[in-house]
Amino acid sequence: MLHFLLLSTLLLMAQADPFQLDALIQYVDSHQDEYVETLRDWVAVESDSSDVLKRAELEHMMDITAEKLRKMGGKVELVDIGDQELSDGTKIPLPKVVTAQFGSDSSKRTVCIYGHVDVQPAKKEDGWATDPYNLTEINGNLYGRGASDNKAPVLAWIHAVEAYQALNMELPVNVKYILEGMEETGSNGLDAMISQHNHTFFSDVDYIIISDCGWLSRKPALTYGTRGNCYFLAEVEGPKQDLHSGVFGGTVFEPMTDLIGILDTLIDSSGKILIPGINEAVAALTEEEMKLYEGIEFDLESYQRKIGVDRLMYSSKADLLAHRWRYPTVSIHGIEGAFSAPGTKTVIPAKVIAKFSIRQVPDMDPLLVEKQVSDHLNAEFAKRNSPNKLKVTMVIGAKPWVADLKDSLYEAGKRAVKTVLGADPDMIREGGTIPIARTFQDVTGKRIIMLPIGGFDDGLHSQNEKMSRYNYIEGTKLFVAYLHEVAQVWKVVI
């Protein structure tokens, strides 16, 4: 009875004014337990896109997502995006992409919300304190794989539209969704799907919103840039078969030794990349940008404790953030073919493959970086005078993405954050890569904003991933407010 009276009151408030934020906020607050239970249901689905044996679970997750939007009255489609080729040459269908539309009023702006509902692998024995697929609330935190990345943000956007509907309030903008199931493994098939639907689904879209990111600190943030990524394989092949060092050691050039030797020429002990041309391509750091970094809420000592190191490479906040966001880095991820099992073995592998990446920043061009890396490694390999063979391949070439901080989309974001969360947001970048942002920009030509609600300590891709109840519920309110604020933005042709 009390719930009915509250809803009746909220409906009367909403009908008195086309936009009543207080009524919407009260509605969200009164339904937060329901939102948590929905997140629990979603987290329970092991939608791991990296494991083909769980493909049925992932497809089930896409169906659940589509049905949720369908029950809200959306125009929903499950879009076929083709097949995935496995390592043995066989093919399996990729999970369908869910699209949905709410409203088609030509007098209104149209926003498109992107998200994903696939997750990284997780097992209790990996070090989780709780079952990763059983959402567990501890001290206001909701622990579970995918809770922050990206199921809670997707649900928050869905709940935001639901709140308007429940109070019979007209949506201030037309809302579209594009929700995929392969983001964690590279968004297979999505680029082609976006190109194919550029003149249909995206034709009336004015702005694209991405919430697949998080805050830098406890202070709310808006994200305006991400780094790209060039991922390389460096393969050194030597003898026709694995050899035993006791018999052949010293009589052949060991592929592993060659590989380690050339990897050592990529970066020096101070973190400087040694590949000719890489550093010269980086956009100059302006005084305005440096001042922006200096004003961001970020504590070096807390960060150092969080990552568990004795010291950091940079002693000032601005320098550290700049190197995390707007300078390239080299990371060596592993060596395939090398002996890595427990115990000792004196084998000389016949072939080893190093996997490393270089994060891209403006104004780096992945195609040029591919040539620079290949030329550098081949030149260094030639100095070794080795009879072994080197093959360098770039398997990923994702470009960076940076938005205009003065864009009215971001001004709308600042207003929404201030209204709901009571603070001016920090303007931040991501050190990682979200390739879909650049794809949307290059293919559709639409303006993009990244509007995060994830916490700085959510542990994305790690053990004990979580989304705080506060961020989940207040984030839903933020999205409610942003739909109103973005409706005030006049369409500007890029």
Dihedral angle sign, alpha carbons of residues 102, 106, 110, 112: positive
Residue 180 and residue 272 in one domain: no
Which of 369, 398, 427 is a domain's end point?
A: 398
Q: What is the pLDDT of residue 490?
A: 61
Residue 308 lies in a domain: no
Query: 68 and 216: one domain?
Result: yes
371 shares its domain with 348: yes
Q: Within this chain, do residues 384 and 453 fall inside the same structural domain, yes or no? A: no
In a domain, 474, yes or no: yes
Q: For residue 349, is it within any domain?
A: yes
Is residue 319 in a domain?
no
pLDDT level of residue 98 (50, 70, 90 thresholds): very high
Which alpha helices (DSSP H) does 167-286 contain, by range?
A: 190-196, 245-248, 255-263
**Residues of the chain with pLDDT > 70: what percent?**
94
pLDDT at 247: 64
Asked if residue 211 has pLDDT above 80, the reply is: yes
Average the pLDDT over 57-65 and give the result.
98
- Render pLDDT for 446-460 as a digit per residue (tens, 0 to 9): 999 999 999 999 999
In angstroms, how far is the first alpha carbon of the chain from the final one? 52
Is there a single domain that holds both residue 38 and residue 99? yes
pLDDT of 489: 86
* 394 plus 261 within the same structural domain: yes
* Under 8 Å between Cβ of 151 and 210: no
The answer to whether residue 154 is domain-embedded is: yes
Q: Which of 347, 365, 398 is the last residue of a domain?
A: 398
Whether residues 383 and 447 fall in one domain: no
Residue 119: what residue type? Answer: V
Q: Domain with 425 in it: what CATH number?
A: 3.40.630.10
pLDDT tens, position by position, 22-37: 999 999 999 999 999 9
> Does 320 have pLDDT greater than 60?
yes
Domain extent, residue 252, equals 228-282+327-398
Number of CB atoms found within 10 A of residue 474's CB? 20
Whether 115 and 262 map to the same domain: the answer is no
Number of domains in the chain: 2
Question: Where does a domain end: 398, 429, 456?
Answer: 398
Q: Is 10 among the domain residues?
A: no
Alpha-carbon dihedral 236, 242, 246, 252, rounded to 10 degrees: -40
Q: What CATH number is associated with residue 342?
A: 3.30.70.360
Q: Is residue 263 domain-resident?
A: yes
In a shared domain, residues 116 and 161:
yes
The yes-or-no verdict on residue 5 having pLDDT over 80 is no
132 three-state secondary structure? coil
d(CA 114, CA 436): 9
**Residues catalogued as catalytic:** 118, 183
Residues 345 and 440 in one domain: no
Does 186 lie in the same domain as 156?
Answer: yes
Binding site, annotated residues = 116, 149, 184, 212, 461
In a domain, 306, yes or no: no
Mean of pLDDT values over 247-257: 77
* pTM of the complete model: 0.90
Q: Could you tell me which residues are annotated as the binding site for Mn(2+)?
A: 116, 149, 184, 212, 461
Name the percent of the chain lying above pLDDT 90.
Answer: 86
- The answer on 51 and 130 residing in a single domain is yes
Confidence of residue 242 (pLDDT cuts 50, 70, 90): low
How high does pLDDT run on average in the chain? Answer: 93
